[in-house]
Every structure is written in structure tokens, then in C-alpha cells.
Amino acid sequence: MTVVDWKELIRWDRMPHILCPGCGNGTILNVLVRVLAEKFEEGELDPDKTVLVSGIGCSSRLPGYVKLDSLHTTHGRPLAFATGIKLANPDLEVIVITGDGDAAAIGGNHLIHAARRNLDVTVICANNYIYGMTGGQVSPTTPRGAKSTTTPYGNPEPPFDLCELVIGAGAPHVERWTTAHPAQLSAAIARALEREGFSFIDVLCQCPTNYGRRNDMRDPREMVKWLRENTSTRDEEGKIRIGILRDEEREPFLKRMYDMIEEVRTSEEGD
Amino acid sequence: MSKVDFLQGNEACAEGAIVAGCRFFAGYPITPSTEIAERMSSRLPEVGGVYVQMEDEIASLAAVIGASWAGIKAMTATAGPGFSLMQEHIGYAVMTETPCVVVNVQRGGPSTGQPTKASQSDVMQARWGSHGDYEIVALSPSTVQEMYDLMIECFNWSERLRVPAVLLTDEVVGHMRERVVLRDDVETVERELPPEGEEIEKPFPMEPDDLVPPMPVFGRGHRVHVTGLTHDERGYPATDDPEIHRKLVTRLCNKVRKRAREIHEEVGYDFEERESDVALVAYGGCARTVIEAAEELGVTVFRPKVIHPFDPDLIRDLLDGYEVLVVEMNLGQYVEMVERALDRECVHLLGYPGGYPPTPERVIREVKKLSG
């Protein structure tokens, strides 16, 4: 067994990274590379067959720090690119890293259709309620009343619940955790990688620079505390539900596609 | 064994793609290109390939680019409005040097325009539709046979140069039926690959041989980072360094520009030289009636099959000294490139939007006005 140290998976020549101090994406990257190192070491995944795909935004920069094949694509479209990668080479393990703006605004169409198709990918959505990279504009998950650079009087719109959205579209495996729950997040990513089909993990995370600063949580610790106190693994009044929100079996897209191709080819040969 | 068939242009296009080695099609239905998707959905599984109908045109080209990085030849087909939606990903494919083929069966525009009518009004969109400086390859067939042949050329040039190639056709050729020889002695080009299992430190070298670096493939141990951002030789984002941006974008343009003449010679063009003061220039579906008019008038005619990259030297070599009449199904697009190559005073346009090519009589009338 090859020992895979998570440190070998980091592109150290790219350090320091561009994330702000206290950014939740740091936790997500940390957890992700440790889970991957473990999976590689156990032989459950092959580092040469693992591909990270992302769109645009702070979270979408994470694949660039990991020493694996990675595709940093256009705003909102990583799932569309991932569809091509996965269908063209089913042997690849494809992990999509996206954010709330990337996945749910410009990429909303691709998100629901990837869930509907049950595309065999793991999606990790760093949901920080804000457009961080562009400087703190409102996103589809910004809570009602929250301040952003484009909602200076408080957000008048209701937010998306991304888990409900993808469950509605047919995603079989959906979890929600926060950066205040790194151990649970780690287990969630490990589970998602074991599942065939579409796995979606909504990771509520802190953006002290652009969300916290405008909403009375300037210190990252305050935001992490808020995430811990305002979430629950049970249905509790006034709290955001976290945990495994759906875990069902559904025939994965790849299998249907390749079974069909096989059938066509066999019947051709029989003619 | 080569086979003779009687096919629609769009069907021949699909057959050309398959013989060129295409094994992935992602698309979104749009008139007048849909027969390509339909034919591919039926043919690809037979050869072990994948057809997927995506949620829109943006997703379609994204999936095609993803498939290309996973190592297989991939394409999409669309018409003007869909091509407009794909523009950002044309730029992404240019920046990431991803081979892929986009068929644009042009229809009348702007906007939804004339879905079932012909047009050649995406000539400039094919060249300038995406933001930033770039060059692509665009080929324009005039016959069903050429839908087959130029489709193969599109894949070959795309693989050779690692650029998106556009089959810039039109409804006339896409929907007509003609005899076509489905050649099987086809020369196909495969992208140059780096050795398997080796991490590649510099996947995007500044000055590779012939300006085109070998293409890493996901899943072969290359461990590359690919981004649409301005990147250094390692593929890492380097957006603040003007020198890196300048060098990268210049190379991306030069790898196509420097081979403009070669592409024209390899793909071919028609040049029927006759004793005349006037030369007619036309391409695609429109060239069919123009060639008839030229024969009747006894004037020289030039029909390019390569629309981009444009080669001004070739145009000068062939057409200097003529009164040149460019005929196209738009209000003037290709003509602007001809004007840049020749003495402007000698270049004239019969721009004919509306959905049909002009009749030979209409062209003859225009030539007579010129010479009279």
C-alpha cells in the first residue's frame, strides 16, 4: 500500500493561496485533501483517475491548489463540463467544487439537470451566502434581510434551499454540513465518493470579509459560532437542518447510458 | 469500403464526423441543424460513442470540452442563436487549447430571425464572437460531399492545432440532398500526447515546437491544472503579469495565423481563371449559383473553403487586378476581409440577405452593372 500524505496533494509552489484569512474555503480544502489522501491510501480511489472540476468564484479556485488533474471552467458551468468528462471516460472519479452563486444562479439550470440525470459526480458546494470574489454582492442563498453590496437596505428576496432544490430535481444523495462540523463534513465527503450517482453536499461556510463584515460577524470565529448555534441535525424551530437529508438508491446515469450503448452494439452484431 | 449514398447535407456532416473519429456529441436541438443531432444519436452508440442532449447550448459546448479533456474527439452542432450562446466556451476552448468541433448551420438573423431559411451572417461571429484576441479555423462547404469531407478536415485541424474548428455551413447545404461518396480511406489526425503516467510540469510552454504543445489527458497521470484564466507555463493562473498574457495570447493566435496559407492549400479552394476583368467571390451554399453565373458570363471565380484564418496574400495572389464582386447571403461580412487585402476601390458587394441565395440571373445583372 502506498502511503499518501495529504501534503503531497498540495501544489506548494502555488502558496500562499488567495483566500482571505478566516475563509471557510480553507476548511473545505483541508477536509477534502485529507479525505482524498485517505481514499488514495486505502486504494479506494486512484489519484491519477481523480479529476476536480470547478466554475468561477473563491471556492472554484480550490482545485488549483490540489495536485490532481483539474479543470477550472467558466462561471456556473462546472457540472456541464463534468458531464462531458464523466461520460467520455467513466473510469474517472469527478468531483465538482462550486459555490452558491456558481451553482445556483448562473449554473442553476445545470445543477437541476445534473441532479435529474443522476450524473455520477460528487458536488461540494461552498455556500457562504455571498459573492465573495466579486466583492460581496447578493447571491441566491443570501438570507432575507441580510446586507450585501447590492442589498444595502437588506435583501428583499427569499433564499434558495439548495438541498431542497436538488432533492426536488431527483438527487439521490444529499447532505448539508457546515465548516463548524469538519469531522462530519469529512465523513460526508467520504460517503459521497463511495456513492454512484449524483451526490450533493451543501457546506455552509463563513465569509468574514464580504458577508460577516456587513452582517455583524466580522470575526470568522463569530461566524463559525453562528453556524454551530443556528444549525441542528434534528428538525428544530428556527434552526437550519443539517445532516444526511436524503440517501436513496437510483440508477446512475452512466450505467443507463453505457448499458444502452452495449445493447445497441450487441444487436448490431447480431444483425 | 467506400460507399455511395444519397444524403442530406446534415446527415453527411454526421457521417463525416464519425469517420473522422468523433465519439462524443453533446447538443441542443435548433433548426436548421437538428438532423445532425438526430443522426448522431442513432449512429454514435453503434460505434461505441456517446450522444447526450444537454439542457442548452452553453452546456453542450461545455460537455464537449470536458469530453475532449477526457481524451476523445467531440463535437456539437447548432445554428446562429445557439452559436451565440456558445461564444464564451469558444473562448474557453481557445484559451485552454481544447480540440473540439462546432457545426453552425447558419440561418437568418439577428435574433430568432428565420429558423428555416439560409444565411451566411455568422461569418464575423465565428471570428470575433467571443471576447479577447483569438484565432480559430472555420470551413465552409458548398456541397453535400463537402459536408462530409470538410467535417473530417475540421476534426483534423482542430486536433493538429488544438483549437475549436467551426464547420460554418448554411441551411442551403445542410438541407439539400445529393450523391455523396462516403470515403473510408480517410486520413485522420490525432492530437499529440505526452507520455502516459508522467506528471507534466509545463503543460503550456511559451514556445513549443510549431507553437502547439502536446495535450495532456485527464486520467493518464499528467496531473495538470487547466484554467481559462491567463496562465503560465505550469498552467497556473498568472493574471497580473502583462508579459505572460502577451506571450500566451500571441502564441494562441500565431499557431493559427502562421499556418493560414497551409490550411488553405491543404483544405483547397476553387479558382476558375477566365479571361475577364471581373472576378466573382462566393462561398458555401451561395457559391453554387455564383459559379453558374460565372460560367455563363465567362468570368473568373474564386470559392474559398477556408473562411478563417483569412489569408490576404492568397487573395492578392489570385485576385489582384480584377474588379472583384463578393456575393454573400448577408449585408457584407466576408467582403470586409477581401477589402483589407485588395485595393478597396476594386471590391464590390452583392449582399443578399433574406433566406435564399441570389439566382444566377441576379448575379449576372450585378456583374453587368459593374462592367457596364
- Cβ atoms of B227 and A64 within 8 Å: the answer is yes
Q: What is the pLDDT of residue A270?
A: 60
- How close is the nearest chain A Cα to the Cα of B229, in Å? 8
* Closest residue by Cα to residue A225 from A189, A178, A186, A161: A178
Q: In this structure, what DSSP letter does residue A18 have?
A: S
Q: Does A256 touch chain B (CB under 8 A)?
A: no
For residue A102, what is its C-alpha cell?
456558481
- How close is the nearest chain B Cα to the Cα of A75, in Å? 10
- How close is the nearest chain B Cα to the Cα of A239, in Å? 35
- How close is the nearest chain B Cα to the Cα of A141, in Å? 23
| B232: exposed, middle or buried (Cβ count in 10 Å: 0-12, 13-18, 19+) | middle
A81 contacts in B (CB within 8 Å)?
A: 62-63, 65-66
* Closest residue by Cα to residue B9 from B284, B343, B361: B284
- Cβ atoms of B200 and B82 within 8 Å: the answer is no
Q: What is the pLDDT of residue A152?
A: 97
- How close is the nearest chain B Cα to the Cα of A192, in Å? 20
Q: In this structure, what DSSP letter does residue B283 have?
A: -
Residue B140 has pLDDT above 80, yes or no: yes
Q: What is the pLDDT of residue B327?
A: 98
Angle at A75 between CA A74 and CA A76, to 5 degrees: 110
- Write the CB contacts of B35 (distance below 8 Å, at least 6 apart in sequence): B8, B10, B11, B14, B174, B175
- Cβ atoms of B116 and B107 within 8 Å: the answer is yes
- Write the CB contacts of B357 (distance below 8 Å, at least 6 apart in sequence): B118, B172, B285, B286, B288, B289, B290, B329
CB neighbourhood size of A256 (10 A): 12
CB contact under 8 A, A261 and B50: yes
Q: Does B224 touch chain A (CB under 8 A)?
A: yes
- Could you tell me the strand order of the sheet in which B347-351 lies? B269-272, B300-304, B278-281, B323-328, B347-351
Q: Does B58 touch chain A (CB under 8 A)?
A: yes
Q: Does A98 touch chain B (CB under 8 A)?
A: no
Q: What is the pLDDT of residue B98?
A: 98
Residue A1 has pLDDT above 50, yes or no: no
CB contact under 8 A, B225 and A257: no
Q: Does A90 touch chain B (CB under 8 A)?
A: no
- The C-alpha atoms of residue A145 and residue B7 are separated, in whole angstroms, by 61
Phi, psi values for residue A243, rounded to 5°? 120, -165
Q: Render pLDDT for B157-209 as a digit per residue (tens, 0 to 9).
A: 999 999 999 999 999 999 999 999 999 899 999 999 999 998 999 999 998 88
Angle at A70 between CA A66 and CA A73, to 5 degrees: 125
CB contact under 8 A, A85 and B227: no
User: Rounded to whole angstroms, what are the CA distances from B224 to A48, A51, B159?
Assistant: 10, 10, 19
- How close is the nearest chain B Cα to the Cα of A200, in Å? 19
* Closest residue by Cα to residue B258 from B313, B319, B299, B325: B313
A86 contacts in B (CB within 8 Å)?
A: 66, 70
User: Rounded to whole angstroms, what are the CA distances from B189 to A48, B14, B61, B213?
Assistant: 26, 18, 21, 15
* Closest residue by Cα to residue B102 from B145, B68, B143: B68
Nearest to A71 among B58, B220, B226 (CB): B226
| B197: exposed, middle or buried (Cβ count in 10 Å: 0-12, 13-18, 19+) | exposed
For residue A88, what is its C-alpha cell?
467520455
Q: What is the pLDDT of residue B329?
A: 98
Q: How many helical (H) and strand (E) elements, i.e. helices and strands, does chain B have?
A: 13, 16
CA atoms lying within 13 Å on the CB side of residue B202: 8
- The C-alpha atoms of residue A119 and residue A191 are separated, in whole angstroms, by 16
Asked if the bond preceding B208 is cis, omega within 30° of 0, the reply is: no
- How close is the nearest chain A Cα to the Cα of B296, in Å? 50
CB contact under 8 A, B223 and A69: yes
Q: Render pLDDT for B250-305 as a digit per residue (tens, 0 to 9).
A: 999 999 999 999 999 999 999 999 999 999 999 999 999 999 999 999 999 999 99
For residue B270, what is its C-alpha cell?
476553387
A265 contacts in B (CB within 8 Å)?
A: 45-46, 48
For residue A84, what is its C-alpha cell?
462531458
- The C-alpha atoms of residue B23 and residue B39 are separated, in whole angstroms, by 13
Q: Does A185 touch chain B (CB under 8 A)?
A: no
- The C-alpha atoms of residue B152 and residue B15 are separated, in whole angstroms, by 9
- The C-alpha atoms of residue B65 and residue A74 are separated, in whole angstroms, by 11
| ipTM of the complex as predicted | 0.97
For residue B360, what is its C-alpha cell?
444566377
Q: What is the pLDDT of residue B27?
A: 98
Q: Does B69 touch chain A (CB under 8 A)?
A: yes
Q: Does B101 touch chain A (CB under 8 A)?
A: no
User: Rounded to whole angstroms, what are the CA distances from A44 to A6, A39, A50, A88, B341?
Assistant: 15, 5, 11, 21, 61
Nearest to A84 among B48, B67, B228 (CB): B67
Q: What is the mean pLDDT of residues A250-263?
A: 97
Region of B332 please: left (phi>0), alpha (psi -120 to 50) or beta: left
| Residue type at position A77 | R
Q: Render pLDDT for B298-355 as a digit per residue (tens, 0 to 9).
A: 999 999 999 999 999 999 999 999 999 999 999 999 999 999 999 999 999 999 999 9
DSSP string spanning B42-109?
HHTGGGT-EEEE-SSHHHHHHHHHHHHHTTS-EEEEE-HHHHHHHHHHHHHHHHHT--EEEEEEEEE-
- Write the CB contacts of A50 (distance below 8 Å, at least 6 apart in sequence): A36, A40, A68, A69, A92, A93, A95
Quick one: closest CA in A to B44, which residue? A261
B204 contacts in A (CB within 8 Å)?
A: none
Quick one: closest CA in A to B235, which residue? A64
Q: Does A261 touch chain B (CB under 8 A)?
A: yes
For residue A107, what is its C-alpha cell?
449554473
Q: Render pLDDT for A75-114 as a digit per residue (tens, 0 to 9).
A: 999 999 999 999 999 999 999 999 999 999 999 999 999 9
Q: Render pLDDT for B21-55 as a digit per residue (tens, 0 to 9).
A: 999 999 999 999 999 999 999 999 999 999 999 99
* Closest residue by Cα to residue A115 from A10, A22, A200: A200
Give per-residue burial for B212-225: e unless 16+ CB within 10 Å, then b: bbbbbbbbbbbbbb
**What's the whole-number average pLDDT of chain A?**
96
Quick one: closest CA in A to B88, which residue? A74
